[in-house]
Amino acid sequence: MDNQLAEKIRYNSLFDLYGSLLTEKQREYFEYYYSEDYSLSEIADLLKVSRNAVYDQIKIVLSHLEIYEKKLGLLKQKHKQNMIGEQIKALYPNDAQLDSLVEKLKKTE
């Protein structure tokens, strides 16, 4: 997988877990840049700020998300749960009820 794409997926996963801990303005910057794929210039025009201000805010948001993950580890735990679920499915490939439970585990946040 492309490194940039993997990074974008990671940041979106972190945002899904910790976005509610950010300010409304921080969520707005993140969503424009990562969810709606706006350029820094487009966001700057939209929010009436400098391109550099947008860049700085995005870096701050990413830093906060990384700090939250380092302290709380929810994304790491979610990956661990998914790996365990896949191992269980591999051990019992024909168990539909177990497959259903594993899928529910994957969807829990």
On the question of pLDDT at 17 being above 60, the answer is yes
Q: Report DSSP state, residue 49.
A: S
> Rounded distance, CA 24 to CA 30, Å?
10
On the question of pLDDT at 78 being above 80, the answer is yes
Contacting residues for 68 by C-beta, under 8 A, at least 6 apart: 14, 17, 18, 21
Distances (CA, A) of 40 to 46, 89, 109: 10, 43, 30
Q: What's the rounded mean pLDDT across residues 49-67?
A: 98
On the question of pLDDT at 14 being above 70, the answer is yes
SS3 (DSSP) at 65: helix
Is residue 53 very low, low, confident or very high in pLDDT (cuts 50, 70, 90)? very high
On the question of pLDDT at 13 being above 90, the answer is yes
Is residue 1 very low, low, confident or very high in pLDDT (cuts 50, 70, 90)? low
Q: What is the pLDDT of residue 108?
A: 63
* Mean pLDDT of the residues in the chain: 90
The label of the residue with tokens 């969807």 reads 107
Is residue 109 very low, low, confident or very high in pLDDT (cuts 50, 70, 90)? low
Q: What's the rounded mean pLDDT across residues 83-94?
A: 81
Do the beta carbons of residue 80 and residue 37 sit within 8 Å? no
- Which pair of tokens denotes residue 16? 């899904």
